[in-house]
């Protein structure tokens, strides 16, 4: 009876009353309804959810009390959340920011705002590891790379970094590994303070000495130069100066040192690009290309290098390759660096990056094109010239003679900087606070003529001069960009940047690309360890409200009360969930969280006079970012064995912990393990570590299995990171953004990261790990909304259903596939690992063949060949309905039968449905002559009946990885190429 089809969980039904809200989020978030959940439970042989959970989660670590429930975390309905977000947004004051320091107000073209940033087709896909169903965002990321390459005049650029400061740190490390014997890294004093802070943190782990000062002068000192591996300059610098670093580059290169240049894409339309004066590595922040400030992020940083450094680049690189039909196609190049990060050999741990924001920035360049960017840059520059002459007229002294958009003023004529700031504040304006004699002003695209007049008049009134009117301002005739540093080279000549300039064409281009990509709007993305769950609209809506999106990360605290309330509430709730004491939202990804957590552990040891502790035990099954992060934190990785069933080898752990007990710093463990195993011995393992003087880092990627059932503190951990872009429903954005906060036990709290723009947390804090004090602050709104709308009960129910869904799938696939692990009760955790080795042995069928064939069934393949080469790791999450789980299982079982036909010899081993997969329409449409396959087009396209109504089509055939890696081409085709 349809009327009884109420949603939610019968066994867990919320108490309802007439006055309870109807728009409860839990009902919309959790896929299965009562009836479906009961059906799954009974299929697994359970009468209740409790009995199922008891068999699944080891009793030793089960939380006995209701630690997480609606009294500890009350649930808001969707409309209550909306109202609360409005209220808190209202507590952020919308001052006009001229603070600069690498952060500008952005003007987001409406067509990009609506159709990229607010469009689930763009924000819900996964990282494009499956290129046949990701050509859209791959093309857009190549646009990003091309844009960066062209504006910087560098040979190659990657597909984004987390922020400018960490990108600069990666540059520093690249310089260091290029000249590993030289330990000095020079940082010019014109670099922004947040970058300097992040460099200092990062330098520590690598044992690099960061020397800050006038870079040009420092390099002239031969005794210093001898030990220099690299130098970082900011161009234009934080005060606005545009300096000629050509000579500096020559000097550096004379001893093999590398020049890292932090720069600004908009300025590069006007000034000589770093690639033309000898920079080796160019980094920066692309946010002013149409990405809102969001109180610090997210936005995409960029990273570009010369050709000879290309194979050492961190991060993701998109390249052009070809498919089996010879059709050009994009893919992640040198992909092994990615998913299987080079573990302890790595020098970077970046995994999740900033794909969505890189796409927005690239689209901004597509929309404006070179002519549009030129117009914008001209306006920004000329407004700055107008401002400069006006304030010079009032008696202010300019600190910088040269500039693009930023001037630093000596303000003694006004008494003090405070006097100027007071006038600014009264006008609703924020200026850069430098010291009591200087203020900084950065202009940007958003500044209207009226804004400019208001700004000028702040300076007029601070010295009691007559205010000016717009019609008294005139186009300046000077140009404060030195003639020899003006850009003369062309940029962005590629067709893609020169044709989509009407909104209609832009909309079609955005949609055309989106149409090539499989995302959560199509079907489940059961990526083990990635937790691709519902990213609800109600949590996305506040994100693009101006009261949250247009806040500068260094805005004064009293203007950002709404944000701070949200940050505080989220930190508190994360502590309740993890069982820990304090949190930091600064890290911009899971990997960044790992790194931050390990730095905190090191600082803790140091504080106790045990700074020598530098051994980090890591199971062999750990995610590649774990050892990479350890190395970056200056730790030595000692691997720990794992049993074939996924459990840690406790004997090996004990032996190694004891062996290294004098130097044991930490142990990193993922829980449930990367095999999808709730290890009953986790507390014993942690005790071994503690007994030997170490701290336990718990990788929280799998936290979705735990909430309210157990927690990292109970397991025995001291610190954990969470991936808010997994467990806490920030969408993956096609490869980022992410947020990787850490929670720590009380004894570690004093060491949580600080930031130059943040009131100090305590004297023992480590320095910044991200450019912004609260990382990608704006998207914390999503996780905050998620937690608040589910409430404690909804969070726990979500974990329970995540477990149930995974176990249901295990029960359906079992018998067809070799389930690699289950516990003594026959249960898996929130994901399941199936081993396909038998198919390879019997018929040479690889994991990839199954994965590509799944694309033909309209699904994104699960995580492949990780953590075990021959396996697939399947994670459904709580958001998928029984019907969807069944569709996926049916597909897997059908493929199993197709494989059977190959193994039995009915179908040839080299020309079959799996090896030839995926089958795009162009292949299905091929002529009779070309269709030389021992199966029909219909078998290829519609192996199951529901595919006729509901099918997602890959747009290219299988892509040739080897070809792509050998022929690394990472930019857009040019006019000439297209002509061929």
User: Binding of its own copies at residue 288 (CB under 8 A)?
Assistant: no
The 3-state DSSP composition of the chain as helix, strand, coil percent (nearest 5) reads 45, 15, 45
Provide the minimum distance between the beta carbon of 525 and ligand BCT in the complex, in angstroms, as a whole number.
Answer: 12
**Which string of x and - marks every residue 87-116 that binds its own copies (by CB under 8 A)?**
--------------------x-xxx-xxx-
Q: Which of 132, 547, 699, 961 binds ligand PLP (CB under 6 A)?
A: 699
Chain positions 881 to 910 lying near its own copies, rule: CB under 8 A, are 881, 883-884
How large is the angle between the packed helices 590-607 and 193-206, nearest 10 degrees? Answer: 70
Measured at the CA of 614, the angle between CA 613 and CA 618, to 5 degrees, comes to 120
Report the alpha-carbon distance of residue 847 to residue 845 in Å, rounded.
7
Report the alpha-carbon distance of residue 924 to residue 946 in Å, rounded.
18
Closest by CA position to 456, among listed 443, 903, 445, 446 = 443
- The 8-class DSSP code of residue 329 comes to E
User: Binding of ligand PLP at residue 875 (CB under 6 A)?
Assistant: no
Report the alpha-carbon distance of residue 587 to residue 771 in Å, rounded.
9
R_g of the chain computed on alpha carbons: 28
Measured at the CA of 591, the angle between CA 588 and CA 596, to 5 degrees, comes to 75
Residue nearest to ligand PLP according to CB distances in the complex: 590
Q: Which of 2, 59, 488, 932 binds its own copies (CB under 8 A)?
A: 2
User: Binding of ligand PLP at residue 805 (CB under 6 A)?
Assistant: no
Q: Which of 124, 145, 192, 352 binds ligand PLP (CB under 6 A)?
A: 352
Helix (H/G/I), strand (E/B), else coil: 67: coil
Binding partner of 738, given ligand BCT, ligand PLP, its own copies, none, CB within 5-8 angstroms per partner class: ligand PLP
User: Binding of ligand PLP at residue 529 (CB under 6 A)?
Assistant: yes
Chain positions 437 to 476 lying near its own copies, rule: CB under 8 A, are 445-446, 448-449, 470, 473, 475
Pick the closer one to ligand PLP by CB: 510 or 833: 833
Provide the minimum distance between the beta carbon of 722 and ligand PLP in the complex, in angstroms, as a whole number.
Answer: 10
Chain positions 571 to 590 lying near ligand PLP, rule: CB under 6 A, are 589-590
User: Binding of its own copies at residue 48 (CB under 8 A)?
Assistant: no
DSSP track, 150-161: HHHT-SEE-S-B
Asked if residue 140 lies in contact with residue 363, where contact means CB atoms within 8 angstroms, the answer is yes
Pick the closer one to its own copies by CB: 303 or 383: 383
Helix (H/G/I), strand (E/B), else coil: 226: coil
Q: Which of 406, 621, 674, 692 binds ligand PLP (CB under 6 A)?
A: 674
What residues pair up with 184 in beta bridges, in sequence order?
Answer: 209, 228
**Which string of x and - marks every residue 363-402 that binds its own copies (by CB under 8 A)?**
------xxxx-xxx--x--xx--x----------------
> Which DSSP helix (H) or strand (E) runs through 912?
none
Residue-wise over 797-821: b if at least 16 C-beta within 10 A, else e? bbbbbbbbbbbbbbbbbeebbbbbb
User: Binding of ligand PLP at residue 591 (CB under 6 A)?
Assistant: yes
Alpha helices in 711-779 (DSSP H): 712-715
Binding partner of 507, given its own copies, ligand PLP, ligand BCT, none, CB within 5-8 angstroms per partner class: its own copies
Provide the minimum distance between the beta carbon of 861 and ligand BCT in the complex, in angstroms, as a whole number.
Answer: 13
What residues pair up with 305 in beta bridges, in sequence order?
Answer: 156, 281
Binding partner of 590, given its own copies, ligand BCT, ligand PLP, none, CB within 5-8 angstroms per partner class: ligand PLP
User: Binding of ligand PLP at residue 166 (CB under 6 A)?
Assistant: no
Binding partner of 339, given its own copies, ligand BCT, ligand PLP, none, CB within 5-8 angstroms per partner class: ligand BCT
Binding partner of 922, given ligand PLP, its own copies, ligand BCT, none, CB within 5-8 angstroms per partner class: its own copies
CA distances to 38, 98, 196, 388, 551 from 408, in Å: 67, 11, 19, 10, 22
The dihedral through the CA atoms of 902, 908, 909, 911 has a sign that is: negative
Binding partner of 78, given ligand BCT, ligand PLP, its own copies, none, CB within 5-8 angstroms per partner class: its own copies
Chain positions 632 to 671 lying near ligand PLP, rule: CB under 6 A, are 670
Provide the minimum distance between the beta carbon of 728 and its own copies in the complex, in angstroms, as a whole number.
Answer: 16
| Residues at the contact surface with ligand BCT, assessed by CB under 6 A | 127, 339, 351, 529-530
Pick the closer one to ligand BCT by CB: 26 or 130: 130
User: Binding of ligand PLP at residue 701 (CB under 6 A)?
Assistant: yes
Report the alpha-carbon distance of residue 857 to residue 863 in Å, rounded.
16
Task: Kindly give the pairing relationship between strand 317-322 and strand 328-333.
Answer: antiparallel
Mark the segment that binds its own copies (CB under 8 A) among 312-320, 418-426, 536-544, 665-673. Answer: 536-544
Closest by CA position to 673, among listed 682, 664, 665 = 682
**Which string of x and - marks every residue 920-959 that binds its own copies (by CB under 8 A)?**
-xx-xxxxx--x----xxx-xxx-----x-x--x------
Q: Please count the residues of this chain forming the interface with its own copies, following the rule CB under 8 A.
A: 98
Pick the closer one to ligand BCT by CB: 339 or 894: 339
Provide the minimum distance between the beta carbon of 597 and ligand PLP in the complex, in angstroms, as a whole number.
Answer: 11
Number of other CB atoms surrounding residue 509 within 10 Å? 21
Report the alpha-carbon distance of residue 75 to residue 511 in Å, rounded.
36
Q: Which of 115, 286, 536, 625 binds ligand PLP (CB under 6 A)?
A: 625
Task: Kindly give the pairing relationship between strand 871-874 and strand 832-835.
Answer: antiparallel
Provide the minimum distance between the beta carbon of 528 and ligand PLP in the complex, in angstroms, as a whole number.
Answer: 8
Q: How many CA atoms lie within 13 A of 699 on its CB side?
A: 28
Residue nearest to ligand BCT according to CB distances in the complex: 339
Residues forming the site for ligand PLP (CB under 6 A): 351-352, 529-530, 589-591, 623, 625, 670, 674, 699, 701, 723, 738, 740
């Amino acid at each position: 009876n349809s009327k009884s089809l109420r949603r939610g969980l019968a066994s867990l039904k919320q108490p309802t009353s007439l006055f309870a809200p109807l728009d409860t989020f839990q009902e919309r978030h959790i896929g299965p309804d009562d009836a479906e959940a009961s059906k799954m439970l009974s299929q697994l042989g359970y009468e209740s959810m409790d009995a199922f959970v008891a068999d699944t989660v080891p009793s030793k670590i089960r939380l006995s009390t209701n630690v997480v429930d609606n009294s500890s975390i009350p649930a808001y309905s969707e409309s209550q959340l909306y109202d609360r977000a409005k209220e808190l947004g209202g507590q952020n004051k919308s001052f006009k920011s001229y603070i600069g320091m690498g952060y500008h107000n952005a003007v987001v073209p409406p067509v990009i705002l609506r159709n990229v940033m607010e469009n689930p087709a763009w924000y819900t896909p996964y990282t494009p590891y499956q290129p046949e169903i990701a050509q859209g965002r791959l093309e857009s990321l190549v646009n990003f790379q091309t844009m960066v390459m062209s504006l910087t005049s560098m040979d190659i650029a990657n597909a984004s970094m987390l922020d400018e400061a960490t990108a600069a740190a990666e540059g520093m490390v690249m310089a260091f590994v290029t000249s590993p014997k030289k330990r000095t890294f020079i940082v010019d004093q014109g670099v922004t303070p947040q970058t300097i802070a992040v460099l200092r943190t990062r330098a520590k782990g690598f044992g690099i000495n960061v020397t800050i000062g006038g870079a040009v002068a420092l390099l002239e000192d031969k005794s210093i130069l001898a030990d220099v591996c690299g130098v970082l300059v900011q161009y234009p610098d934080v005060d606005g100066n545009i300096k000629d670093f050509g000579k500096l580059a020559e000097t550096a290169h004379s001893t093999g040192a590398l020049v890292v240049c932090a720069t600004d894409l908009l300025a590069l339309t006007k000034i000589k690009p770093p690639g033309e004066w000898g920079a080796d590595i160019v980094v920066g922040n692309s946010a002013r290309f149409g990405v809102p400030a969001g109180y610090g992020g997210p936005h995409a940083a960029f990273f570009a290098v010369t050709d000879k450094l290309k194979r050492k680049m961190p991060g993701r690189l998109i390249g052009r390759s070809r498919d089996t039909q010879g059709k050009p196609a994009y893919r992640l190049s040198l992909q092994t660096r990615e998913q299987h990060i080079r573990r302890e050999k790595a020098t970077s741990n970046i995994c999740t990056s900033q794909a969505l924001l890189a796409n927005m920035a690239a689209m901004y360049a597509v929309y404006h094109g070179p002519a549009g960017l030129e117009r914008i840059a001209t306006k920004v520059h000329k407004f700055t010239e107008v401002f400069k002459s006006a304030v010079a007229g009032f008696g202010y002294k300019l600190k910088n003679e040269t500039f693009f958009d930023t001037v630093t003023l000596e303000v003694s004529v006004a008494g003090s900087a405070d006097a100027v700031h007071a006038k600014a504040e009264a006008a609703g304006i924020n200026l850069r606070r430098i010291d009591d004699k200087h203020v900084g002003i950065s202009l940007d695209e958003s500044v209207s003529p009226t804004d400019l007049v208001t700004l000028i008049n702040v300076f007029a009134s601070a010295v009691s001069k007559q205010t000016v009117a717009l019609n008294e301002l005139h186009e300046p005739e000077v140009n404060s960009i030195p003639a020899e540093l003006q850009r003369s080279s062309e940029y962005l000549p590629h067709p893609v940047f020169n044709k989509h300039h009407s909104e209609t064409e832009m909309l079609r281009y955005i949609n055309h690309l989106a149409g090539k990509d499989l995302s959560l709007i199509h079907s489940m993305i059961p990526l083990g360890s990635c937790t691709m769950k519902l990213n609800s609209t109600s949590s996305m809506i506040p994100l693009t409200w101006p009261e949250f999106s247009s806040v500068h990360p260094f805005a004064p605290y009293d203007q950002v009360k709404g944000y701070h309330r949200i940050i505080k509430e989220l930190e508190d709730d994360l502590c309740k969930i993890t069982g820990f004491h304090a949190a930091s939202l600064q890290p911009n990804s899971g990997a960044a969280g790992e790194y931050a957590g390990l730095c905190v552990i090191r600082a803790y040891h140091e504080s106790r006079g045990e700074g020598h502790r530098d051994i980090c035990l890591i199971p062999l099954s750990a995610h590649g970012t774990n050892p990479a992060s350890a190395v970056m934190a200056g730790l030595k990785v000692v691997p720990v064995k794992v049993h074939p069933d996924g459990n840690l080898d406790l004997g090996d752990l004990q032996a190694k912990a004891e062996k290294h007990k004098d130097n044991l710093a930490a142990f990193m463990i993922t829980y449930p393990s990367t095999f999808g195993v709730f290890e009953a011995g986790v507390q014993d393992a942690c005790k071994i570590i503690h007994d030997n003087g170490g701290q336990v880092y718990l990788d929280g990627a799998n936290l979705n299995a735990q909430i309210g059932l157990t927690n990292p503190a109970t397991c025995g951990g001291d610190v954990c990171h969470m991936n808010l872009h997994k467990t806490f429903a920030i969408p993956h954005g096609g490869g980022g953004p992410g947020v990787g906060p850490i929670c720590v036990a009380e004894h570690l709290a004093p060491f949580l990261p600080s930031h130059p723009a943040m009131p100090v947390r305590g004297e023992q804090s480590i320095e910044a790990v991200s450019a912004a004090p609260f990382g990608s602050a704006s998207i914390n709104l999503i996780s905050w909304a998620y937690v608040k709308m589910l409430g404690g009960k909804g969070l726990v129910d979500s974990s329970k259903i995540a477990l149930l869904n995974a176990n249901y799938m295990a029960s359906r696939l079992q018998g067809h596939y070799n389930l690699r692990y289950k516990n003594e009760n026959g249960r898996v955790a929130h994901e399941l690992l199936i081993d396909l080795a038998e198919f390879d042995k019997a018929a040479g069928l690889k994991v990839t063949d199954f994965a590509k064939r799944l694309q033909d069934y309209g699904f994104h393949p699960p995580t492949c060949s990780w953590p075990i080469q021959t396996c697939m790791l399947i994670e459904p999450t709580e958001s998928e309905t029984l019907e969807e789980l069944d569709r996926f299982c049916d597909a897997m079982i059908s493929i199993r039968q197709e494989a059977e036909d190959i193994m039995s010899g009915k179908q040839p081993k080299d020309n079959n449905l799996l090896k030839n997969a995926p089958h795009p329409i162009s292949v299905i449409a091929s002529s009779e002559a070309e269709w030389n396959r021992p199966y029909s087009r219909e078998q290829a396209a519609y192996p199951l009946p529901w595919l006729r109504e509901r099918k997602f089509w890959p747009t290219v055939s299988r892509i040739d990885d080897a070809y792509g890696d050998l022929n690394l081409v990472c930019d857009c085709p040019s006019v000439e190429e297209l002509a061929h």
